[in-house]
Each structure stands twice: as C-alpha cells, then as structure tokens.
Amino acid sequence: MIQKGYFESYAYDTPVKEKLNLLEKFKLNNRLYFIYKYAIIVFISRKQARSGIYDDKLWADSSYYIFRFIEKTGGMFHITGMENIAKTPEPVIFIANHMSTLETMILPGLIAPHRLVTFVVKESLVKHPLFGDVMRSRNPIIVGRTDPRKDLEAVMNGGMELLSKGISIVIFPQSTRSLEFKPEDFNSLGVKLAKKAGVKVVPIALKTDYWGNGKIIKEIGPIDRHKPIYLKFGEPFEMSGVGKEDNQKIIDFIQTSLKGWTLQSPTERS
C-alpha cells in the first residue's frame, strides 16, 4: 500500500502565478495541449494495464500527472478536508456527486496514496476502447445503470467482498454526470452498502465543471479555466440505521458546499 501523499497539508489551493512566460501562456486554456497531455497518460496507463504492471502506485501517479497538467492549462484547485481520507484505519465508502470526468481522474491521486481504493463504475467504462483496460485493472464494481435490482446486488456482493479485504470504495450515486445536482437522482446504494458492511461513509462534495463533456468522446471535452475546481472531503460518519436520513446527510453536505462555492465573489473564482 502507498504510504506517502503528494500534498504537504490537508488543504490545497493552486498557487496564483502573477507573471507567465510565453510557454505558460501557450498552455493556458489550450484544449489541444490538454488533450495531447491527457492522451499520453491514457495510452501509457493502458499499456501498463495490459502488461499487468499498472498497480496502485502507478494509478496514483498517473492521476497526479493529470492533476498537474490541469493546473498548467489554468485549472485552479481548491481542496479541503483531506485529513478525512484516512482518518479511520478501517475501509470506508466515499460517496460523491458526479459532475465530470475530472473527479474520476483526480480522486485516485488524492485517495490511493493513503488507502486501497476502487470505484463503482458503469459497464460501458470497463468496455471502453481507451479506458477499459485501466478500469478493469482496478478491480471495480461494475453496474449497468439500467436495472436497479441487479445494480444493488452487484454493489452489495462486490462491495462486501472488497471491504472485507480492506479496500475502500468510491460511489457516485447519480446515474450519470450532471452539472446540476438533483437530490432526487442521488440513490442510496452507498448508504445501504455501508449499513450492511458496518463501515463509515466519507462524503465528498465537488464542483468540476472546468472539464466539460465532449461531443465525440464524452471523456474529452472542452476546458474552462474561469471555472475553479472544488473538492471537499467530509468527516467520516457511521450509519444511524435509518438509511433515508443517512443519505440526506450526504445530500445536505453536497448542497451546502455547492451553494457556498457558488456564492463566493468573482474575485475568488478568478
């Protein structure tokens, strides 16, 4: 298991650079540069996964490389609550809203250095010609998003097995990525698994619309440096036994965070 993270403290804000050289100006908000760097990492990771050497460290490293070139293209990260990632020695379930491809790529670099982790992912992602090999190498829980009963069975059975091995799980309860957070689309799969397994939940609120959805390849969309990137890890908490209330607690955490970020002044968002 990886022991050392990439950050010196539990909160991180991308430094603001007052003066940029010509190369930095070229990279800023440059979608071609963004796609080029992203493609390199994807193909290297894909090759490593096919060779059977794409382990936890390489996964975290590739995630961190993506993090850094997002900053070079103007992405401004504001991350808080990282002390909650490994606050408990036991495995946990991370439950987050799902806004873009960015969180799928960035969360491994934040979580994997501190604890074993995998994702609940859509079946289409593990079959994707570009990303499939990488995702399959992470031993994820696979759901179809068409049959709620089958998805529940897959998450419960697969989740119990992974948690028993000390592997934490990231779950996006929304059926798909959405720029607008709708509580009615936020299912309780993660809460049900946490209750059954007797593990804690770590809620994650995020705002990642910096990275849009692509028209041809959904995972490669436009970027907008004027949209800051926010991630907030909440305190781990135990299930109360009332699933609806526990799920509402996560929803409230996400809604409150999103509202706070939206209300920040234009100066803070620049």
Name the nearest CA neighbour of 189 among 154, 146, 161: 154
DSSP secondary structure letters along 188-229: SHHHHHHHHHT--EEEEEEE-TTB---SSSTTS--B-TTS-E
DSSP 139: -
- Residue 259 lies in domain: 12-269
Query: What Å distances lie between residue 137 and 33, 51, 70, 110, 114, CA to CA?
Result: 27, 10, 24, 19, 19
Question: Pseudo-torsion of CA 238, 261, 120, 88, nearest 10°?
Answer: -30
DSSP-derived 3-state class of residue 35? helix
In a domain, 108, yes or no: yes
In a domain, 115, yes or no: yes
Q: pLDDT (tens digit, 9 = 90+) per residue, 154-166?
A: 999 999 999 999 9
Please tell me the distance from the alpha carbon of residue 38 to that of residue 222, in angstroms, as a whole number. Answer: 13
Strand partners, 205: 232
Please tell me the distance from the alpha carbon of residue 43 to that of residue 252, in angstroms, as a whole number. Answer: 38
In a domain, 194, yes or no: yes
Q: What CATH number has the domain bearing residue 156?
A: 3.40.1130
In a domain, 74, yes or no: yes
DSSP-derived 3-state class of residue 81? coil
Predicted confidence at residue 269, as pLDDT, reads: 43
Structural domains counted in the chain: 1
Predicted confidence at residue 221, as pLDDT, reads: 73
In a domain, 223, yes or no: yes
Predicted confidence at residue 231, as pLDDT, reads: 98
In a domain, 7, yes or no: no
Show pLDDT as tens, one digit a residue, over the chain (270 residues).
455 689 989 999 999 877 878 888 888 888 888 889 999 999 999 999 999 999 999 999 999 999 999 999 999 999 999 999 999 999 999 999 999 999 999 999 999 999 999 999 999 889 988 899 999 999 999 998 778 889 899 999 999 999 999 999 999 998 788 888 999 999 999 999 999 999 999 999 999 999 987 665 666 778 898 999 999 999 999 998 777 899 999 999 999 999 999 877 454 444
In a domain, 262, yes or no: yes
Count of other CB atoms within 10 angstroms of residue 53: 10
Name the nearest CA neighbour of 76 among 15, 8, 17, 30: 15
CA atoms 237, 122, 56, 214: torsion sign = negative
DSSP-derived 3-state class of residue 126? helix
The model's pTM is 0.92
In a domain, 51, yes or no: yes
Please tell me the distance from the alpha carbon of residue 120 to that of residue 93, in angstroms, as a whole number. Answer: 11
